[in-house]
Structure 1
């Protein structure tokens, strides 16, 4: 029986994972989207990536499968390149593998997740914290 460490290594061996900078560049190409799977609380605490599509992990396959009645408007065909992002780059690898298993073969993820994106100095949107009345 494989544990999570072995499973993650096996999954990643089948992905062409991207650095944050490579993911940002790839997202400019037609038919390529960054998908932020982090929960709302993490997005509020740490910020968001401008232009990323937010689909929390528990909805991912249904929203990105072009054959699903629950798909998002961008999910028009199986050839879309989905670049999945989580907080640290672990669950995104598993999510990208799951997408590949349902026929979305160009799916991959961001090495190091949002934390690596932020550390690379790439664009982040963090909603302003409202000021308290004095």
Structure 2
């Protein structure tokens, strides 16, 4: 156990770096160009960022906005609160956030629900923009 400002880590507790690495080890993460091709081939691109980030950075055209706090309910095919698009377990979902951290955890959570093809956009919308891919104003959505 490593001491921290909060004291020693409790037995069985994992740090966020370990949790993130474990989540990513299950994902076939997509770089921006691969994510764009997958979207064009029918994958659902999902923006999980809060409105303030979308307003500041814009959104990827064609992305479905589902904030992180309701993602599992909206994409669980067995949930009464699911979105119409989330009607099957073999749905190709690519989750993105600002820089690709929260999206990795979210994609792993979707896999836990049985959406085995769920993954995320490595580097988030920041990487997408750096790749020169289009973004539209978040305020316009």
Shift of 1:127: 5.5
CA distance in 2 between counterparts of 1:112 and 1:100 reads 20
2:15 maps to 3
The alignment of Structure 1 onto Structure 2 pairs a total of residues equal to 128
Shift of 1:38: 0.4
Residue 69 and residue 128 in structure 1: after superposition, are their counterparts in 2 closer, same or farther (change >3 A)? Answer: closer
| Among candidates 83, 89, 93, match of residue 82 of structure 1 | 93
CA distance in 2 between counterparts of 1:24 and 1:65 reads 24
TM-score, reference length from structure 1: 0.91
TM-score, reference length from structure 2: 0.87
CA distance in 1 between counterparts of 2:139 and 2:47 reads 20
List gaps (5 residues or longer) in structure 2.
1-12
CA deviations over 1:81-133 (Å, ceiling 9, x no partner): 1100000100000000000001111000000001101111101001579xxxx
1:16 maps to 28
CA distance in 1 between counterparts of 2:122 and 2:69 reads 21
Runs of 4+ in 1 over 2 A off after TM superposition: none
CA distance in 2 between counterparts of 1:118 and 1:108 reads 19
CA deviations over 1:20-72 (Å, ceiling 9, x no partner): 11001001123x10000000010011101110000000000000111111111
List gaps (5 residues or longer) in structure 1.
130-134
* Structure with larger Rg: 2
| Among candidates 115, 122, 129, match of residue 118 of structure 1 | 129
